[in-house]
């Protein structure tokens, strides 16, 4: 059985042929691309001959003569190449690759139509002629075979026919692997049932423990009855009571023996069920996994074809093809990896002339690798091209008014690279079929976040770009750390945890009302998990602190929890769609005792930490939330690079009862908006990294945020500045003199109402 295998018995011959072509086309394409990179190998030619022969046989059974003829001439060509009569040069490989594409199309159309369109049949005939074009660089072979060949066939085809006639017919396979089709949704439901079975298994263990406890209580009762009997024995008139006690003692002994047998049987049953549950869980997970290489079938072809289009000689090296990946993740990876590879080919790898001038080999190399590391899947894409021109990035940032020249000149590498992930940001000066639209990297990051992945990019001038994608190995079973927060249990994926520590409260340091620890020489800020999740509860003021360390880039944060319960493998379940997006929560699961537990969203948690540390003050760790559960009030995001203005605006709005978060520039403000939920944005104009006008335009271009009210508050009071702000999409444009009266507060209330 395979999770994605078809039910062969329920499929027509042409549907079976389509599956056969899908399999054999991978062999043909991969082998042709390998042959193009080096010398012809007889084993490779034989593999292609067998693939073409299999397609030919299937097409004959499916009654698709156009497909039979095309596969037949391909088989003949590979046979002739093996005999040295034909050279597989680049032009012929191009024709063969196009022939494989046509075989795939013939099989696809043939599976849904009884009769192939005449245009498709004509293309097949034309393709046969292209594949059969004689190779002028090879001497003709004398004809002398009695085997029939098509009129006008080149000499090597006649010899190929003779060789085919001399070889014994291929026998039927010795064994057939039976498969059934199982949908991914069905596998997910099965995995959920495995989780429930695991819970019931733990429940059976609890019943066994209770039975043993009952047996101990019975033994204690027996001992007590023996003591009572001894006391009654000393009484002269206690005969009938002694008989009753003996009967009761006998019945208790029988019950004790019954419990012993039952507990033993239950223990054996419990062990057996636990073993089956573990095996079933491993089997289901294994059937959800695919080799990483299964998702790379088209990438070598993509690199080759793009290279030919751009006049570049390219090689794609892949390692870790056997690494297992959840099929859902593998499917979602196709689009991001395609875009990143296209970027490497188009922007990264130089032309052959430029590479030679730079002292590099003419052939550019792109390396794609995968490995399991620390419970996560790590995918690395590297090229040996020119790297990212950071100065060009600075120039585009200034041209698009995302930052002033002074601020842009001070930006570091990682800060500049972050601009590449903004919507509509591109370094290309013109559009092409490959790139230049500025919609790629933003979608790459968005797609990866949907499967709880992240992406990091680094560059070296003249040395290429290195991109690392980090993902969970599977989306179904998560290894989680169970935490107690304000009396409630939560789960945190282990793969996103840097470390876990128990620290003495006396080791906590404070600076400007911010608490932190020194761990491994790094300053690690402390944040209360209960405060982040807005939970009420009594916090212990004594004993060590339990701290879970999370990291985002170079920043490290310590999440202070009540208690570390332990690690558990959890079968993840999505939240009910009717709940919508719940901030800070990714999904749910069941614990061993059947109680539900919420799995925290690490990215949301990190974003909330940044908002707390840059905005409103943190309460000291260990303090409880007063007055019970906090109620949600309207949230305002204040974006301004001036700490004075930020604090004035925050104070004015907080006094009115609004919840206020702050951001120190446009980039931080945009990141907050993409992950947070706000009722209003207040922004400055002149800011580092991203101009306020640019921030407003991004808000108005985003489908989710385009109706979000925006107020610009600036020192600029010229009419042209006012018009620029309103044309960008701001709802109001105020000067910073509005703080002197109630204008600012009244404007906020007019747009979103009372808090």
Helix axes 239-288, 184-233, angle to 10 degrees: 160
Cβ atoms of 408 and 528 within 8 Å: the answer is no
Distance (Å) of CA 450 to CA 248, 376, 475, 699? 66, 16, 11, 21
Q: Is residue 335 located within the same domain as residue 374? A: yes
pTM: 0.56
For position 726, which CATH number holds? 3.40.50.2300
d(CA 217, CA 36): 80
**For residue 456, is it left (φ>0), alpha (ψ between -120 and 50) or beta?**
beta
Q: Which residue has the tokens 């974003």?
A: 607
Q: Residue 117 belongs to what domain range?
A: 8-166
Cβ atoms of 368 and 318 within 8 Å: the answer is yes
Q: Is residue 645 located within the same domain as residue 684? A: yes
Q: Is residue 500 located within the same domain as residue 540? A: yes
Q: Which two tokens stand for residue 742?
A: 């109630």
pLDDT at position 153: 41
pLDDT at position 506: 80
Q: Which two tokens stand for residue 317?
A: 């090296």
Q: Is residue 539 located within the same domain as residue 667? A: no
Q: Is residue 681 located within the same domain as residue 696? A: yes
Cβ atoms of 524 and 582 within 8 Å: the answer is no
Helix (H) or strand (E) holding 87: none
Residue 405 lies in a domain: no
Q: Is residue 458 located within the same domain as residue 526? A: no
Q: Which two tokens stand for residue 431?
A: 């559009």
Q: Which phi and psi angles does 599 have, rounded to 5°?
A: -95, 125
Q: Is residue 554 located within the same domain as residue 582? A: yes
d(CA 382, CA 387): 10
Q: Is residue 505 located within the same domain as residue 451? A: no
Q: Which long-range contacts (CB under 8 A, 24 or more apart) does 247-250 make?
A: 249/222, 249/225
Residue 174 lies in a domain: no
CB atoms within 10 A of CB 193: 13
Q: Is residue 606 located within the same domain as residue 539? A: yes
pLDDT at position 396: 87
Cβ neighbours of residue 582 closer than 8 Å, sequence gap 6 or more? 575
pLDDT at position 39: 59
For position 438, which CATH number holds? 3.30.565.10
Cβ atoms of 604 and 584 within 8 Å: the answer is yes
pLDDT in tens, 223-250: 767 776 676 666 655 666 667 677 777 7
| Domain count within the chain | 5
Cβ neighbours of residue 115 closer than 8 Å, sequence gap 6 or more? none
Q: Is residue 63 located within the same domain as residue 208? A: no
Residue 397 lies in a domain: no
Q: Which residues of the chain have pLDDT under 50?
A: 1-7, 135-180, 431, 436-439, 615-617, 624-631
364-377 exposure pattern, b = at least 16 Cβ within 10 A, e = fewer: bbbbbbbeeeeebb
pLDDT at position 195: 63
Q: Which long-range contacts (CB under 8 A, 24 or more apart) does 607-611 make?
A: 607/671, 607/672, 607/675, 607/676, 608/532, 608/583, 608/584, 609/525, 609/527, 609/532, 609/550, 609/557, 609/559, 610/552, 610/668, 610/672, 611/661, 611/672, 611/676
d(CA 611, CA 598): 22
pLDDT at position 681: 95
Collapsing DSSP states into helix, strand and coil, what is residue 288? helix
Q: Which has the closest alpha carbon to 505: 555, 558, 551?
A: 558
Residue 415 lies in a domain: no
Residue 624 lies in a domain: no
d(CA 307, CA 351): 10
- In this structure, what DSSP letter does residue 11 have? S
């Amino acid at each position: 059985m395979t999770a994605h295998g078809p039910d062969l018995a329920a499929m027509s011959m042409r549907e079976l042929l389509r599956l056969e072509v899908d399999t054999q086309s991978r062999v043909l394409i991969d082998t042709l691309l390998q042959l193009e990179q080096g010398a012809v190998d007889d084993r490779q030619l034989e593999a292609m001959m067998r693939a073409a022969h299999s397609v030919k046989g299937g097409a004959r059974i499916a009654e698709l003569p156009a497909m039979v003829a095309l596969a037949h001439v391909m088989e003949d060509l590979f046979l002739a190449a093996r005999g040295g009569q034909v050279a597989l040069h680049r032009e012929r490989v191009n024709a063969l690759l196009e022939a494989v594409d046509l075989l795939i199309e013939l099989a696809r159309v043939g599976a849904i139509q009884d009769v192939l369109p005449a245009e498709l049949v004509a293309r097949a005939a034309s393709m046969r002629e292209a594949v059969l074009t004689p190779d002028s660089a090879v001497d003709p072979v004398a004809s002398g075979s009695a085997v029939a060949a098509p009129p006008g066939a080149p000499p090597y085809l006649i010899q190929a026919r003779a060789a085919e006639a001399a070889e014994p017919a291929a026998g039927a396979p010795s064994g057939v692997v039976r498969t059934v089709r199982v949908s991914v949704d069905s596998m997910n439901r099965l995995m959920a049932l495995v989780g429930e079975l695991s819970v019931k298994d733990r429940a059976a263990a609890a019943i066994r423990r209770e039975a043993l406890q009952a047996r101990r209580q019975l033994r204690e009762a027996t001992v007590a009855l023996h003591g009572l009997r001894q006391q009654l024995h000393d009484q002269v008139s206690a005969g009938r009571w002694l008989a009753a006690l003996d009967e009761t003692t006998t019945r208790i002994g029988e019950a004790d023996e019954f419990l012993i047998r039952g507990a033993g049987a239950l223990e054996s049953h419990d062990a057996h069920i636990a073993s089956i549950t573990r095996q079933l869980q491993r089997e289901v997970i294994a059937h959800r996994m695919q080799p990483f290489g299964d998702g790379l079938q088209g990438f070598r072809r993509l690199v080759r074809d793009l290279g030919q289009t751009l006049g570049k000689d390219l090689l794609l090296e892949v390692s870790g093809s056997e690494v297992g990946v959840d099929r859902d993740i593998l499917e979602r990876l196709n689009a991001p990896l395609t875009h990143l590879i296209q970027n490497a080919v188009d922007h990264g790898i130089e032309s052959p002339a430029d590479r030679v001038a730079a002292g590099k080999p003419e052939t550019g190399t792109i390396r794609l690798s995968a490995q399991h590391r620390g419970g996560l899947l790590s995918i690395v894409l590297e090229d040996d091209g020119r790297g990212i021109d950071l100065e060009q990035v600075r120039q585009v940032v200034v041209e698009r008014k995302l930052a002033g020249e002074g601020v842009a000149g001070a930006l570091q590498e990682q800060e500049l690279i972050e601009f590449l992930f903004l919507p509509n940001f591109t370094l290309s000066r013109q559009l092409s079929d490959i790139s230049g639209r500025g919609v790629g990297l933003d979608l790459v990051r968005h797609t990866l976040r949907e499967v709880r992945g992240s992406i990091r990019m680094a560059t070296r001038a003249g040395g290429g770009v290195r991109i690392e994608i980090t993902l969970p190995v599977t989306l179904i079973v998560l290894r989680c750390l169970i935490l107690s927060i304000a009396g409630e249990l939560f789960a945190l994926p282990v793969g996103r945890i840097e470390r876990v520590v128990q620290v003495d409260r006396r080791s906590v340091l404070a600076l400007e009302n911010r608490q932190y620890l020194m761990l491994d020489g790094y300053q690690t800020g402390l944040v209360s998990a209960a405060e982040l999740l807005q939970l009420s509860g009594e916090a212990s003021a004594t004993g060590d602190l339990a701290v879970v360390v999370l990291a985002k880039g170079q920043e490290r944060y310590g999440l202070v929890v009540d208690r570390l319960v332990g690690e558990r493998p959890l079968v993840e379940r999505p939240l009910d769609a009717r709940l919508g997006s719940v901030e800070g929560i990714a999904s749910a699961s069941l614990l061993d005792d059947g109680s539900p537990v919420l799995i925290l969203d690490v990215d949301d948690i990190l974003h909330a930490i940044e908002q707390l540390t840059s905005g409103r003050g943190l309460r000291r760790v260990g303090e409880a939330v007063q007055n019970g559960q906090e109620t949600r009030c309207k949230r305002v995001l204040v974006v301004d690079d001036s700490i004075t203005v930020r604090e004035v605006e925050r104070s004015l709005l907080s006094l009115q009862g609004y919840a206020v978060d702050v951001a120190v520039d446009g980039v931080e403000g945009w990141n907050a908006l993409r992950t947070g939920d706000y009722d209003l944005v207040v922004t400055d104009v002149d800011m580092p990294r991203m101009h306020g006008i640019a921030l407003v335009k991004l808000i108005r271009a985003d489908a989710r945020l385009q109706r979000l009210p925006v107020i610009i508050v600036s020192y600029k009071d010229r009419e042209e500045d006012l018009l620029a702000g309103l044309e960008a999409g701001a709802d109001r444009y105020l000067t910073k003199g509005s703080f002197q009266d109630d204008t600012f507060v009244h404007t906020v209330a007019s747009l979103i109402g009372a808090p």
